[in-house]
Amino acid sequence: MSEPVSSIRNLGPAMEAACARAGIHSAEELRALGADETYRRLLMTGTRPHFIGYYVIEMGLHGRPWNDCKGAEKEALRVRFDAIVASVTTSPNHGIERILDEIGVGRRR
């Protein structure tokens, strides 16, 4: 039997619901994807970018409290976060383009 996303430290019902919208339905799936791919999928399904939300996942995957992220480690995570956000916001499947594609009236490719 699989563990719920909320079984990972720092992750509660709101993150579990956001993960479900992104097609991530278990702690095992989230662990296999890692923080970066999980967060990318969250953004692709409408989660608004928020740095704390990203590093909460990273810290949870390491079994650490969310507020344990400091100094150089936090700066390095910020660089990764910014790259993920940039890759999603420049994707043709982001925002209105994604919604138009879902309803079948998007740009023809």
Report the alpha-carbon angle 29-35-40, nearest 5: 90
> Which has more pLDDT, 57 or 107?
57
Contact 30/19 with Cβ under 8 angstroms?
Answer: yes
Residue 99 — pLDDT band, cuts 50, 70, 90? low
Q: CATH classification of 5-102 is 1.10.150.20, yes or no?
A: yes
Between 91 and 30, the higher pLDDT residue: 30
> Contact, 10 vs 60, CB < 8 A?
yes
74 vs 56: CA distance, rounded Å: 11
Q: What is the mean pLDDT of the chain?
A: 89
* Predicted TM-score (pTM) above 0.85: no
pLDDT at 109 over 50: no
Segments making up each domain of the chain, as ranges: 5-102
Q: Where are the beta strands (DSSP E) in 1-109?
A: none
pLDDT tens-digit series, residues 7-32: 999 999 999 999 999 999 999 999 99
